[in-house]
Amino acid sequence: MSQEGILFGMGNPLLDISAVVDNELLEKHDLKLNTAILAEEKHLSLCEYEELVSNYNVAYIAGGATQNSIRVAQWMLQIPGATSYMGSIGKDKFAEEMKKNATKAGVHYYEDDAPTGTCGVCVVGGERSLVANLSAANCYKVDHLKKPENWALVEKAKYYYIAGFFLTVSPESVLLVAEHAEANNKIFSTKSICTFICEFFKDVQDKVIPYADYVFGNETEARTFSKKIIPLQNYLKSDLADGKNVEEIALKISQLPNAPGKTGKRIAVITHGCNPVVVAEDGKVKLLPVILLPKEKLVDTNGAGDAFVGRFLSQLVLEKPTEECVRAGCYAANVIIQRSGCTYPDKPDFN
Catalytic residues: 306
Q: CA-CA distance, 212 to 226, in Å (whole number)?
A: 17
Is 224 within 8 Å of 256 (Cβ atoms)?
no
- The alpha helices in the chain, defined as continuous H runs, are 23-28, 44-47, 50-55, 65-77, 93-102, 142-146, 148-156, 171-183, 195-200, 202-208, 219-229, 232-237, 246-254, 304-316, 322-336
DSSP state at residue 200:
H
Residues 6+ apart with CB under 8 A from 171: 204, 207, 208
Helices (H), 230-303: 232-237, 246-254
3-state helix, strand, coil in the chain (%, to 5): 45, 25, 30
In order of 3, 30, 123, 292, 313, the CA distances from 129 in angstroms are: 36, 10, 7, 22, 25
